[in-house]
Structure 1
Amino acid sequence: MWLPVDLSFSLCHSTRNYSFATPREDSIVERRRVRQHKRQTTFQATIFIANIKVHSCHPANHNKLYVSELASFVVMSRQNRKRKSKRVGKATYNNAIGYDTRGRLYQSVEEVWYSHASRKQEDWYSIAESYWHKQNPSVDGMLGGYSNLSDIDVRSSLQFLQGLQLPSTRIALDVGSGIGRVATELLTKMFEQVDLLEPNVHFLELAKQNVSDSQLGRVFRCSMQDFIPEVDRKYDLIWIQWCIIYLTDEDLVEFLKRCKSCLSASGLICIKDNVSRKHFVVDTNDASITRTSKQYEDLFKQAGLHLVCCQIQENFPRQLFPVFMYALGLKSF
């Protein structure tokens, strides 16, 4: 799932007029019938879900922005508006707090994990792995054709890190390093050494080439949910960008707990990712979930982390999901 083009903020629960056109007919009688039919079928449509989503994630470098050409609508005609809300699963128009890109509604995020756990064929993580295996190993590929946003992204991240005034800048861990865009353009500008964590072997080899030998630290070829920190390695910064959306709630909390255990005394965990304005959004194409800020903050608390600072990425296209930058520490400041 990665930076979403989120039109739900402007279309959800809004009312629009829609006319459904019919094929043009040659005869006068048919043309009259068509005009009459169009008048009869013009109605007030209640849009429940309008989600044209741009994702920016990559289990590794999650700066990926791609447009998922999808719009899901739940429409009720004027004659049916007094009926009960249309049900999809257990959720309804009135009580849903999330939805997926196939139009399914959810009353809770637990329904998402339950529905995937009951599947026999595809695992939640294998979907994302398969998706990213097909992507081009370049900045443009990582950003889904939005490589023009890379400089804006890096500048904002650098300002965010500088504002934190880290007392030590010795070692950083780049989680979901991908081809090394963040490591080379951001982290090596501030830290003496940068470790890489990336599950895709092709991306990881490019990242190792892109980071200078003098600053390349340890390399971990594994996923976030399988990452086990080395006891002799303490990080002043753990940077996690556009990849946390691929973790289930349970794995996200456990991953953050493990990251917390390998922080230096003054170290911080920084998460930069998409945030949904009102409802969580599941992308079924790459098995990712864009959470609300409230959901993230609850998960941070479960991991025993304190929110030190939070900023919103500026100067990104308005149609994208908002991108938040969180700084998390062992204690509040």
Structure 2
Amino acid sequence: MAPDAKRHKPNTNTTSKPGSALGSALKKKAPPGPVYEKGIEYWDKVDASVNGVLGGYGEGPVPHIEQLSSRLLLLSLIPSLSPFPNPLTPEPTLRPLPSHRRTVLDVGAGIGRVTRHVLLPLFDDVVLVEPVDKFVREGYRAASEGEWRDLPSGTSNDLEQKRRVEQQRQDIKDGKGRGKRVRFVKRGLQDFDPREPVDDQAEEVGLVASPKGEIGGEGGCIEDEVVYDVIWCQWCLGHMNHEDLVNFLRTAKKALREGDDHYIFVKENCCDDAPGGVGQEFLDEEDSSLTRSHQKWVDCFHEAGLTVVREEIQQGMPDELFVVKT
């Protein structure tokens, strides 16, 4: 098992005691916040695999349950994303594709697990942003070599991959779909503006598209100023202090496409609120990240000018983990 990440700590009683390092009335200075460099150093020691980024829980049912719940939540809020009829969207085919390419930002994306299994099947374009070098390069390698189902490689000798490429090309010609694209960017979230994902602090790792050169729709991930239908943040915002987090959320809000069905999703672990329902946060020195309580997250959202439209608890997670909320 990889070293325990902050999200994999037991959800024990978090009531502060007088004189404790965090929340003490005797302390006049703010609690220590995350150190960006220490967080990168921690994750550099973790395997660039699903099991590694999930702290040892990647080989059981956790990733499948978690991914399915995320996709169902997306479809329930944005029914038009569904490519086929289902109980959530019984008549999606009656709604024509929008003129623009549906674009999503995946921040702190690791090796691209969420992009690969949750976002890419539903969206046209993904901007994948990750600060850990070996993670983002492993994601790019897997996608460019055809290991991601929605980005099959046209150069592969595998018959199933060739069939998928031809099917995507036919769907584009028939107006039923569009080629997929993922833009891989190495960058942290401090001072990050999603509208300009590749700035002077970022490295463009690469763009993977399939079928190559056959793309339908306007805009998307390679525009000079990118706008998003959805911004997805999962298990990464704990590495930001309060001020940086609020600033990021404010900037992310400005990067959303105008309309009623465009959202910022935040999926993170939550500890308990302090007595009286007061928000609190605790620093994990090992990976230099904060675990925030429910109310602390709500405080951050409101300070950033965001409104919480839905809240869900992730079911099916091991009992020893913090509660996961979206």
Q: TM-score, normalised by structure 2?
A: 0.65
1:180 equivalent among 112, 134, 144: 112
Alignment of 1:61-140 (within 5 A): 93-94=17-18, 104-107=21-24, 113=30, 115=32, 124-140=35-51
Q: Report if aligned partners of 2:23, 2:31 keep a CA contact under 8 Å in 1.
A: no
How far apart are 1:114 and its partner, in Å? 5.3
How far off is 1:199 after superposition? Answer: 0.8
Whichever of the two has the greater Rg, that structure is 1
Q: Distance in 1 between matches of 2:273 and 2:320?
A: 15
SS in 2 for 1:172: strand
1:294 match: 295
* Runs of 4+ deviating beyond 6 Å: none
Find the counterpart in structure 1 of residue 229 from structure 2: 236
Q: CA deviation at 1:246?
A: 0.7
Question: Counterparts of 2:114 and 2:11 in 1: how far apart (Å)?
Answer: 28
Q: Which amino acid aligns with 1:275?
A: C
The count of aligned residue pairs is 231
Unaligned runs of 5+ in 1: 14-91, 97-103, 117-122, 326-333
Match of 1:312 in 2: 313
Q: Deviations over 1:164-192 (max 9, x none)?
A: 12557711111111111100011011101
Matched, 1:277 2:272: yes
- 185, 206, 219: which one pairs with 1:220? 185
Does the CA-based 8 Å contact 1:177-1:207 persist in structure 2?
Answer: no
**Structure with the higher fraction of residues in strand conformation:** 1
Tell me: CA distance 1:135–1:191, structure 2 relative to 1, closer, same or farther (3 Å).
Answer: same
Q: Distance in 1 between matches of 2:79 and 2:295?
A: 26
Partner Cα separation in structure 2 for residue 241 and residue 219 of structure 1: 17
Q: RMSD value over aligned CA atoms?
A: 2.4
Cα displacement string for residues 270-296 of structure 1 (whole angstroms, at most 9, x for unaligned residues): 000001123532211011111111111
Q: Is 1:8 the counterpart of 2:12 in the alignment?
A: yes
Q: In 2, are the aligned partners of 1:2 and 1:288 still within 8 Å (CA)?
A: yes
User: Relative to structure 1, is the Cα distance of residues 6 and 112 closer, same or farther in structure 2, using a 3 angstrom cutoff?
Assistant: farther
CA–CA separation in structure 1 for the residues paired with 2:53 and 2:183: 22
Counterpart of 2:70 (choices 157, 162, 168) is: 157
CA gap 1:142/1:112 in 2 versus in 1, 3 angstroms = farther
Partners of 1:184 and 1:312 in 2: CA distance: 22
1:111 to partner: Cα distance: 6.8
Three-state SS of the structure 1 residue aligned to 2:56 is coil
User: Match of 2:310, SS?
Assistant: strand
Specify which of 224, 249, 271 is matched with residue 242 of structure 2. 249
Find the aligned partners of 2:248 and 2:79 in 1 and give their Cα distance.
Answer: 22
Aligned equivalents of 1:274, 1:112: Cα separation in 2: 26
Classify 1:165/1:111 alpha carbon distance in 2 versus 1 (closer, same or farther; 3 Å): farther
- Alignment partner of 1:295: what SS? helix
The answer on whether the counterparts of 2:133 and 2:186 sit within 8 Å (CA) in structure 1 is yes
Cα distance change, pair 278–219 in 1 and its aligned pair in 2 (3 A)? same
CA deviation after TM superposition for structure 1 residue 232, in Å:
2.0
Read off the aligned partner of 2:181 and give its amino acid letter.
Answer: L
Shift of 1:205: 1.4
Q: CA deviation at 1:239?
A: 0.5
2:6–2:284 Cα contact (<8 Å) kept: no
What's the % identity of the aligned pairs? Answer: 32
- 1:268 corresponds to which residue? 263
2:50 aligned with 1:142: no
Please state whether the residue corresponding to 1:313 is helix, strand or coil: coil
Q: What residue is the counterpart of 2:129 in the other structure?
A: 197
Displacement of 1:7 in angstroms is: 4.4
Contact preservation (8 Å) 2:273, 2:295: no
State the distance in 2 between where 1:7 and 1:139 align.
Answer: 23
Paired letter, 1:184? R
